Structure 1
Amino acid sequence: MTLLSSERSAEQLPVSAPEAADDGQVYGWQRPPIEVSPPAATSAGQEAIDLAARAGLKLDPWQQHVLRVGMGEKPDGSWAAFECVVNVPRQNGKGGIIEARELWGLFIGGEQLILHSAHEFKTAKSAFKRIERLIRGCPDLHKRVKAYRYTVGEESIELHSGQVLRFIARSKGSGRGFTGDCNILDEDMILGDDAMDALLPTMAAVDNPQIWYLGSAGIGPLSVQLGRLRRRALAAVEAGTPDSSLAYFEWSADLHVDECSTDCTVHDDAASDEAVLKANPAIGYRLTLEKVANERATLSKDGYARERLGVGEYPSDEADTWQVIGEDAWRALAAAESAPSDPVAFSIDMTPERSHAAICVAGAWRGGTHVEVVEHRPGTGWILERAKELHAKWKPRCWVIDPGGPAGSLIADLEDEENGLGVPIVQTKARDVAAACGQFYDAVTEQNLSHLDQAPLASALAGAQKRPLGDAWAWARRIPSVDISPLVAGTLAKWGLGAEVEEPEGAPNLW
Structure 2
Amino acid sequence: MAPPSERQRAAIYAHYGLTCPPRFATLRNFDNPTYGPKVAKVAAKLGTPFNPWQRYVFDTGLEVDPATGIFVYRSSGVTVPRQSGKTTGILSLTSHRGMAWPRQQIVYAAQNGTAARKKWEDDWLPALAAGGFIPGEGERLMPYHRARVRKANGREAVIWRKTQSIQGLHASTEQSGHGPTLHLGVKDEYFAQVDDRISAAWSPSMITVLMAQEWWFSTMGTSRSVPMNAAVQAGRELVESGAPSRVAYFDWSAPPGSDRTDPRVWLACMPALCPDQVCRCSKEWRHTVTIATIQTELEKAITPSLLADFDRAYLNQVREDDEVEADPNVPTLEVWNLLANDRAEGGEALACAIDVTPSGDSATISAVGEGPDGPEGPVRGVMLEHGPGSAWVPAAAKEINERLRPVCWVLDDKGPAAELITPLANAGIRRPASEDKRERGDLLIPTVQQLGAFCASLTGRVKRGAFVHLGQDEVAAAVAGARTRSIGDGAFAFGRKASGSNIAPLYTFALALGGYEMYAHLAVDPDYDPLENIW
Q: Give the TM-score taking structure 2 as reference length.
A: 0.58
Question: Cα 1:496–1:296, aligned 2, differ >3 Å: closer, same or farther?
Answer: farther
Q: Deviations over 1:56-104 (max 9, x none)?
A: 3312221111111111111232111111111112222101111111121
Query: Aligned AA for 1:215?
Result: S
TM-aligned CA deviation for residue 109 of structure 1 = 4.3
One-letter code aligned to 1:143: Y
Q: Structure 1 pair 450/233, CA: closer, same or farther in 2 (3 Å)? A: closer
For residues 96 and 310 of structure 1, what CA distance do their matches in structure 2 show?
19
Partner Cα separation in structure 1 for residue 128 and residue 175 of structure 2: 30
Q: Which moved more, 1:438-447 or 1:187-196?
A: 438-447
- Pair 1:60–1:197, CA change in 2 (3 A): same
2:58 aligned residue (57, 67, 77): 67
Q: Distance in 1 between matches of 2:416 and 2:120?
A: 38
Deviation at 1:446, TM superposition (A): 8.1
Letter in 1 for 2:338: G
Give the root-mean-square deviation of aligned CA atoms.
4.9
> Residues of 2 paired with 1:398 and 1:126: CA distance?
32
Q: Give the corresponding residue for 2:90.
A: 98
**Structure 2 residue corresponding to 1:220, chosen from 219, 223, 227:** 223
- Bigger mean CA deviation after superposition, 196-205 or 224-233: 224-233
| 2:25 pairs with 1:35 | yes
The 3 A distance-change label for structure 1 pair 327 and 307 is farther
What displacement does 1:458 show? 3.7
Aligned twin of 1:231: 233
Counterpart in 2 of 1:457? 479
Which of 252, 265, 290 is the matching residue for 2:292? 290
- Indicate the residue corresponding to 2:197 in structure 1: 194
Check if 1:326 corresponds to 2:338. yes
How far did 1:194 drift? 1.6
Matched to 1:457, the amino acid is V
Distance 1:366 1:288 in 2: 49
Deviation of the 1:55 alpha carbon: 3.6
Inter-partner Cα distance in structure 2 for 1:202 and 1:131: 25
**SS of the counterpart of 1:102?**
helix
User: 2-side partners of 1:392 and 1:118: how far apart?
Assistant: 25
The answer on whether the counterparts of 2:369 and 2:381 sit within 8 Å (CA) in structure 1 is no
Can you list the C-alpha shifts for 1:316-356, whole angstroms capped at 9, x where unaligned?
xxxxx8356426338989xxx94369xxxxxxxxxxxxxxx
1:248 aligns with 2:240: no
* Cα distance in 2 between the residues matched to 1:198 and 1:113: 14
Counterpart residue type for residue 81 of structure 2: P
Q: Please tell me the residue identity of whatever aligns with 2:467.
A: V
In structure 2, the gaps of 5 or more residues are 135-142, 275-286, 322-332, 346-351, 357-364, 371-379, 384-413, 419-444, 484-499, 516-535
Contact 1:181 1:208 in 2 (8 A): yes
Matched with 2:307 is 301
CA–CA distance in structure 1, aligned partners of residues 59 and 270 of structure 2:
19
1:465 — aligned with what? none
Which letter maps to 1:206? Answer: V
Q: Is it true that 1:209 corresponds to 2:212 in the alignment?
A: yes
Distance across 2 between alignment mates of 1:331 and 1:283:
48
Asked if residue 107 in structure 1 is aligned to residue 129 in structure 2, the reply is no
CA drift of 1:311 comes to 0.3
Measured at CA, do residues 275 and 324 of structure 1 come closer, stay the same or move farther in structure 2, by a change above 3 Å?
A: same
Distance 1:33 1:118, change over 3 A: same
In the alignment, what sits opposite 2:264? 274
Aligned twin of 1:173 = 175
Q: Residues 109 and 281 from structure 1, CA distance in 2 versus in 1: closer, same or farther, beyond 3 angstroms?
A: farther
Partner in structure 1 of residue 126 of structure 2: 133
**Could you tell me the percent identity over the aligned residues?**
21
Q: Contact 1:15–1:278 at 8 Å: present in 2 too?
A: no
Q: CA deviation at 1:116?
A: 1.4
Q: Report if aligned partners of 1:35, 1:248 keep a CA contact under 8 Å in 2.
A: yes
Partner amino acid, structure 2, of 1:155: E
Q: Determine helix, strand or coil for the equivalent of 2:214.
A: strand
| 5+ long unaligned stretches in structure 1 | 20-28, 257-267, 316-320, 342-362, 373-389, 401-425, 462-482, 499-511
Q: Distance in 1 between matches of 2:115 and 2:246?
A: 28
Distance 1:444-1:96 versus aligned 2 partners, 3 A rule: same
Code of the residue aligned with 1:339 in structure 2: it is I
CA contact (8 A) 2:35 2:62 kept: yes
TM-score, normalised with respect to structure 1: 0.61
2:78 aligns with 86
Residues 283 and 396 of structure 1, relative CA distance in 2, 3 Å threshold: farther
